[in-house]
Amino acid sequence: MRQAWTFLIALSLIGLAALLQFNRATILLGVASLALVAVYPFMKRITWWPQAWLGLTFNWGALMGYSSVTGEIGAPALLLYASGVAWTLGYDTIYAHQDKEDDALIGVKSSARRLGAKTKPALTGFYAGSLVLAALAYLLGGAVPAGLVLFVIPAAHLRWQIKAADIDDPVSCLAVFRSNRDAGLLVLAPFLLAAVLARA
């Protein structure tokens, strides 16, 4: 326990040192994120949607990244944040299907247990919402509209995820969950292209 606490404190101090390099707005956002982080471990006992809280926590960086450059939270950042929350709802619901039997035994909640057989239609909604919000963030950020065509690629990948995921097979769920590393890169591609074109 002593080693664990020492490691935790060391990591926290490193994180604080990094945070203090940013502007005031970003520092305040970083401090505010601690509330989300602190509450998350308890959400499985409070709500059927701990995956939504995970989305709020994991995607906070979209707000901080934007703020670190502009000194404020603009509409593109809020849209990208909401996109990330919807995406997290999707992929972490797939992940949660691995644990649904154990979760039921110990009495904790999850979106996988809540949705059950309705998971795949819900995934369609989560992923579609995520892509639409990301595309809006892309446009409001001043990117070239023609670049929207690139969103077809992550859309195809996410559609594959929905079809490929066998929610009653933990091995399948884990494999599809892991493919979200690729999904994230595919969503990033239009934004990177827009940044390159803006500098050209």
Model confidence at 199: pLDDT above 80: no
Name residue 109's amino acid.
Answer: K
Is residue 133 one of the residues assigned to a domain? yes
Beta-carbon neighbour count of residue 139 at 10 Å? 16
**Domain count across the chain:** 1
pLDDT value for 96:
97
Structural domain including 140 reads 34-199
Is residue 13 one of the residues assigned to a domain? no
Q: Rounded CA gap, 197 and 40, in Å?
A: 39
Is residue 54 one of the residues assigned to a domain? yes
Question: Average pLDDT, stretch 102-117?
Answer: 94
pLDDT value for 143:
85
3-state secondary structure at position 72: coil
Is this model's pTM higher than 0.85 or not?
A: yes
Q: Rounded CA gap, 172 and 153, in Å?
A: 22
Question: Exposure pattern of 172-196 as b/e (b: 16+ CB <10 Å)?
Answer: bbeebbebbeebeebbeebbebbee
Question: pLDDT digit string (tens) for 147-183?
Answer: 899 999 999 999 999 999 999 999 999 999 999 999 9
- Burial (CB < 10 A; 0-12, 13-18, 19+), residue 9, is exposed
pLDDT value for 183:
96
Q: Report the CATH number that the domain containing residue 50 is assigned in CATH.
A: 1.20.120.1780
Asked if residue 48 lies in contact with residue 113, where contact means CB atoms within 8 angstroms, the answer is yes
Is residue 161 one of the residues assigned to a domain? yes
Is residue 108 one of the residues assigned to a domain? yes
Is residue 23 one of the residues assigned to a domain? no
pLDDT value for 102:
92
Q: Which residues lie closer than 8 Å to 29 by C-beta, 6 or more apart?
A: 60, 63, 64, 67, 73
pLDDT value for 145:
87
Question: Average pLDDT, stretch 35-53?
Answer: 95
Is residue 9 one of the residues assigned to a domain? no
Asked if residue 1 lies in contact with residue 36, where contact means CB atoms within 8 angstroms, the answer is no
Is residue 146 one of the residues assigned to a domain? yes
Tell me the pLDDT band of 144, cut-offs 50, 70 and 90. Answer: confident
pLDDT value for 6:
96
Q: Please provide the average confidence, as pLDDT, over all residues in the chain.
A: 94
The backbone torsions φ and ψ at residue 121, rounded to the nearest 5 degrees and listed phi first, read -60, -35
